Structure 1
Amino acid sequence: MTSHARIKITAGFWESLYQLGIDAKHVVRKARLPLTIITDPFVTTTQYFAIWKAYSDIIDDTAKGIIKLATVFETTHYPPTVLATYHARDYRDALKRMARYKQMCPPEGLRITEKGDECTIELEWLYVEQPGPPILVGITLAFLLELGRRGTAQPLRAKLVEFSDSMGNVQVLEAYFGCRVQTGANCNRLTLHRGDLDRPFVSYNAELLEILTPVLEQSLDERQRSYSITEMVKWIVKRSLTGGCPDIQTVASELGMSNRTLQRRLIDEGTSFKNVLTQVRHEQAIEYLTDLSLDIKEVAFMIGYEDKNSFYRAFRLWEGNTPSNWRTEHLGKN
């Protein structure tokens, strides 16, 4: 999956802009894209980001732009992937479906973790090198809370919201999310009260889910099969490295296949799980070493090495040099 992936912009997006008094043609022109995008909704990742940037520039207030679009988007305009979440059994079921079916709607991905009394949902970028514009980040997280509010018919509040970029008027966002909003964080993450995930959805529709789920699962399976299994494994390994080393069983489970099947498919593509893991660690090591705010021990941890010495040995095999010397030679600093 690359930055040239085809992304579909739903008709509901353009309708929501209309509800806000924004002409779709104005957005497309500002994004310097052909007007045919309005009727032929498939775009590249670059074009997709350009449209969101154009909307942000037109609304001229990131925080208000986030809240306005998240709240004006009518449920009647939800695409099938979102309908399956809105009509889920409860908030937990809805979020799990959202994370799963988001794989069919790149470039945003969601990583959900439940621990203690918290549920964190971290936004990730699927198979793209550059993150999306701040307004897209904000709307993605705001919509997750909006989904819970609409499904449960309760004024749910988040526990914490973290953004890596400036998001405009933070006080406006805090009033919407009902919690503290932190900017300049090292991730984009929504933290919910875990108890809210048990809340049933008043919009639950078992009959509709019986129709939608098989179709969506088939579409997801077809989409996954169209991608290189090596690329998919690389992405899963990359997001799982920090503080540990994912094994083939963990990755195979996430892909919904057995260890043997995963290894066979990797061999068919001329590689192996061990080779992919090594490649990802090497690539990430180089990327992190160019960030002078990270010391060598931190870099080792972030690519799954428990101690610095193991990282040094591996890096010598990759580059024929130590991480410190590599950094000095390439960046001119230790």
Structure 2
Amino acid sequence: MSRKSRVPVAAGEADWITTDPVNAMRTVIQRLIPAGKSRIESAAMSVGMSVRTLQRRLAEMGVSYSDLVDEVRLAHALTLIDDHSIKLWEISRRLGYADAANFDRAFRRWTGHSPSQVRAFDRKSRIDLIKRRASVSAPASRSDRK
């Protein structure tokens, strides 16, 4: 990546990304998803790194960028699903999915349930699901999926 194409990093953000890259990337991803720019190229540019450097930093921490995107999307999805005034297609759009079917497949992969099933759960069951997911640091990595 050329110097010209890098986005300036906010004061203090350079240290932040080097000291805690996983949490830094979660925050970056949270900002990028609503803008529809959750691709790794956008994240790398926003922190002033090349894609490869970002991949290496995350690999050193034992996580991939796609795992972090899944984790952030799941956390946000579970929050939005709790609000029954938001339609499921709107949730999929807010999470950056091209259509509701892609969101449904990803959500089933993450939780073992469809979004509509989870929405139908009583509040205690949804909280239990969130706690179970929170006890796992991130959705299964792509290499773990068969």
Q: Do they superpose with TM above 0.5?
A: yes
The 8 Å contact of residues 243 and 306 in structure 1, kept in 2 or not, is answered as: no
- Using the TM superposition, give the Cα deviation of residue 240 of structure 1 relative to its aligned residue in structure 2, in angstroms: 1.5
The 8 Å contact of residues 243 and 305 in structure 1, kept in 2 or not, is answered as: no
- Using the TM superposition, give the Cα deviation of residue 309 of structure 1 relative to its aligned residue in structure 2, in angstroms: 0.7
What does residue 287 of structure 1 align with? 79
Q: Distance in 2 between matches of 1:245 and 1:321?
A: 27
Q: Distance in 1 between matches of 2:104 and 2:121?
A: 16
Q: Distance in 2 between matches of 1:311 and 1:230?
A: 24
Matched, 1:100 2:1: no
The 8 Å contact of residues 92 and 100 in structure 2, kept in 1 or not, is answered as: yes
Q: Distance in 1 between matches of 2:103 and 2:95?
A: 9
Structure 2 SS opposite 1:256: coil
Structure 2 SS opposite 1:241: helix
Specify whether residues 224 and 233 from structure 1 end up closer, same or farther in structure 2 by C-alpha distance, changes over 3 A only: closer
Q: Which has the higher contact order (CA 8 A, sep 6+)?
A: 2
**Which residue identity is paired with 1:291?**
D
The 8 Å contact of residues 243 and 303 in structure 1, kept in 2 or not, is answered as: no
List gaps (5 residues or longer) in structure 2: 1-7, 125-146
Specify whether residues 245 and 320 from structure 1 end up closer, same or farther in structure 2 by C-alpha distance, changes over 3 A only: farther
**Which residue identity is paired with 2:14?**
D
Specify whether residues 261 and 310 from structure 1 end up closer, same or farther in structure 2 by C-alpha distance, changes over 3 A only: same
What does residue 97 of structure 2 align with? 305
- Using the TM superposition, give the Cα deviation of residue 221 of structure 1 relative to its aligned residue in structure 2, in angstroms: 3.5
Q: Distance in 2 between matches of 1:241 and 1:329?
A: 26
Q: Distance in 2 between matches of 1:262 and 1:289?
A: 31
Q: Distance in 1 between matches of 2:41 and 2:25?
A: 12
Q: Distance in 2 between matches of 1:243 and 1:311?
A: 17
- Using the TM superposition, give the Cα deviation of residue 271 of structure 1 relative to its aligned residue in structure 2, in angstroms: 0.3
The 8 Å contact of residues 266 and 272 in structure 1, kept in 2 or not, is answered as: yes
TM-score (norm 2): 0.72
- Using the TM superposition, give the Cα deviation of residue 266 of structure 1 relative to its aligned residue in structure 2, in angstroms: 0.1
- Give me the CA root mean square deviation: 2.1
The 8 Å contact of residues 230 and 269 in structure 1, kept in 2 or not, is answered as: yes
- Using the TM superposition, give the Cα deviation of residue 245 of structure 1 relative to its aligned residue in structure 2, in angstroms: 4.7
Alignment identity in percent? Answer: 30
What does residue 62 of structure 2 align with? 270
Q: Distance in 1 between matches of 2:97 and 2:115?
A: 14
Specify whether residues 275 and 224 from structure 1 end up closer, same or farther in structure 2 by C-alpha distance, changes over 3 A only: closer
The 8 Å contact of residues 315 and 323 in structure 1, kept in 2 or not, is answered as: yes
Structure 2 SS opposite 1:286: helix
Deviations, residues 209-264 of structure 1 (Å, cap 9, x unaligned): xxxxxxxxxxx5334433x1111111111121126251111100111111010000
Runs (4+) off by over 3 Å: 220-224
Matched, 1:296 2:88: yes
Q: Distance in 1 between matches of 2:15 and 2:117?
A: 46
Q: Rg bigger for which structure?
A: 1
Specify whether residues 276 and 223 from structure 1 end up closer, same or farther in structure 2 by C-alpha distance, changes over 3 A only: closer
List gaps (5 residues or longer) in structure 1: 1-96, 105-219
Give 1:1-334 correspondences, 5 Å limit.
Answer: 100-101=10-11, 104=12, 221-226=14-19, 228-242=20-34, 244-331=36-123
**Which residue identity is paired with 1:295?**
K
TM-score (norm 1): 0.33
Count of equivalent residues = 117
The 8 Å contact of residues 244 and 306 in structure 1, kept in 2 or not, is answered as: no
The structure with the largest strand share of the pair is 1
Specify whether residues 325 and 254 from structure 1 end up closer, same or farther in structure 2 by C-alpha distance, changes over 3 A only: same
Specify whether residues 225 and 323 from structure 1 end up closer, same or farther in structure 2 by C-alpha distance, changes over 3 A only: same
Structure 1 SS opposite 2:121: helix
